[in-house]
Amino acid sequence: MCGITGFLDLSSKTIQETFQPVIKRMTDMLVHRGPDDSGEWVDAQNGIALGFRRLAILDLSPAGRQPMLSADGRYVIVYNGEVYNFNQLRTELAGLGHAFRGHSDTEVMLAAICQWGLEAAVRRFNGMFAFALWDRRERTLTLVRDRLGIKPLYYGWAGTTFLFGSELKALRAHPDFRVEIDRDALTLYLRHNYIPAPHTIYRRIHKLTPGCILTVNPDQQPGSHTVLRSVQEKPVPYWSAREVVERGLAHPFEGDEIEAIEALDAHLRRSVGLRMIADVPLGAFLSGGVDSSTIVALMQAQSHLPVKTFTIGFHESGFDEAKYAKAVARHLGTQHTELYVSPEQARAVIPLLPKLYDEPFADSSQIPTFLVSQLARRHVTVSLSGDGGDELFGGYNRYFMLDAIWKRIGWIPLSLRKLASSAAKAVPTRLWPILFRFFPDLADFPNPADKAQKLAEIIASPSPEAIYLDLVSHWKQPASVVLNAHEPATALLDRSHWADLTSFTDQMMFLDLITYLPGDILDKVDRASMGNSLEVRAPFLDDHQTLEFAWSLPRQYKIRGGEGKWILRQVLYRYVPEELIERPKMGFGVPIDSWLRGPLREWAETLLDEGRLQQEGYFDPQPIRQKWVEHLSGKRNWQYYLWDILIFQSWLETVRP
């Protein structure tokens, strides 16, 4: 795992002698992503500079260094990620006459591109990757991102200079970069608690859409009157999640349940086995839930030594899964490490968040994710995770609860439901559990007050689609909170992006796959882990063959009896007793609501000061202050709304001149 950056300067006024120090400065901003080595490659005559920070995982020798030139000298690459089937590709390419100097996947990727062309080669890559490729013959710069967006890649223009990098801090290190906050992107942030691709918090800077290729073609030597032949306005997809989902559901797996379980076991075992290849110590995150337990069980089944597993615990009972992880670890015989974190240790992460994420990002589980990454890095360099199990196998509560809720409330006239919603919202948070008498199936879930508050918000929705949008939104009308802004149409709001599916449950899983998963989960894990120089591999996701198989499974193999991940559980129960796993789903979070009323109150009050909000001019202070007062009084729990604002305010302090 590494960090990449670079620029293509099309200005005739640029002093060529500045290229080396500029790319060095940009590269050094990514030292946490690659503390083991660094490298730069500059061709100032053609205006190109590439930078690389290395976290050595495969081929620790100098033969694995980057930037790397292809054997024929045509291509130069900087690459972040892992292509797990590189040994298979290497054997095939060797049979076609290619020779290799070392044993890295980077060298195999270059040979594959030389042999088959860029897009055809990328289609063969099984893994997670973000890379930049300079074609010295055609003088084109091409950016490529993996199918689901596991690895990040940012790009954009600063005047006549095209910039790219693994993180925004590398782009900001270029002298031509100007901080211009995109207010429209800020509305997206308030809705989602993250900024979805292709947007970023900065104007003219974008995230490369997952599964896409972007090419920049300079026309001729810098200094000419026409310096661009073409810059593709939209990235070109080489893989489509929508096509995979539609094809999988249109042509479902035809075997019986036993055959499906056996096939999934084989897919996951192969995927996990490939991701255990490393020349450095390797382990896994273990929460004791279905997803991480499945990954660890399949690792241990293929390892002659105890797998190193890691979990963190909290003394607050509603947020602690460590005891479950310990029980699973004991059964599987892993070398388990757990660390109970004090509230003070958890809160100490908060000041790190703005620079860690570079733009506002307000999923509070970023705090425990950072802490478990920090713990794991003390022992290993690579850790496997269970990310993606919920999206692929129907694990989120909304997948099997939305239909049940709609059947109960859909027949009630909307006007009556709106009245009931208003009345329910007036109930203080501490009295919310009373509502659960009318929805007994929800009573066993953790944090019942939060669930009840959500229920009060959605009972006034006119349709299941509106309920889903409500469930995945924080601020419901963010453009009314951000001054002088308009909310762009994203996949959630623009149905032209939706898959052609008959079941809205399947539609929710698809939308989560292309929005919440890459925008929130994967970005969260990437920054938290790489902030600790730890590589995290996701066997459910970065093996596209496993993902495509999962989408061919009929929905009844995933959601059954009011519970998700049925088939994944059947695979897991081959290795771990059911009684160690079955319990209500628990989020990986921290008690932000009580912290804001207690130890974080002074910090929050400073950032939410009405005069300060007015002076900065990004938000209408009135709805924010109202929620703050109601939260402090205990009348409502507005932790998610307030945390969005607080994280932005905290981030804003870091970008002021």
Active site residue 114: no
* CA pair distance 432, 427, nearest whole angstrom: 7
In the DSSP assignment, the letter for residue 433 is G
Return the bridge partners of 135, or none: 75, 140
Question: Of residues 2, 10, 298, 492, which has the active-site annotation?
Answer: 2
Q: At what angle do helices 464-471 and 504-514 cross, to 10 degrees?
A: 30
Bridge-based pairing state of the strands 154-158 and 205-207: antiparallel
- Give which of 190, 118, 132 is closest to 163, Cα–Cα: 132
Do residues 1 and 279 lie in contact, with contact meaning Cβ atoms separated by under 8 Å? no
User: Scanning the structure block, which residue is given the tokens 């951000």?
Assistant: 482
Task: Report yes or no: 297 and 291 within 8 Å, Cβ to Cβ.
Answer: no
Name residues whose C-beta falls within 8 Å of residue 412's C-beta, 6 or more positions apart in sequence: none
For the chain, the maximum distance between any two Cα atoms, rounded to a whole number of angstroms, is 74
Residue 539 φ then ψ, to 5°: -60, -25
DSSP letter string, 598-612: TTTHHHHHHHT-HHH
Closest Cα partner for 382 from 509, 212, 529, 245? Answer: 529
Q: How far apart are CA 321 and CA 368, in angstroms?
A: 12
Q: 504-514 vs 397-409: helix axis angle to the nearest 10?
A: 140
Task: Determine the Cα–Cα distance for residues 329 and 340; give it in Å rounded to an integer.
Answer: 16
SS3 (DSSP) at 243: helix
Give backbone dihedrals phi and psi of 238, rounded to 5 degrees, phi first.
-110, -5
> Which region, left, alpha or beta, applies to residue 496 given φ > 0 means left and ψ of -120 to 50 means alpha?
alpha
- Compute the C-alpha angle 288/584/399, nearest 5°: 105
Query: Among all residues, which ones are annotated catalytic?
Result: 2
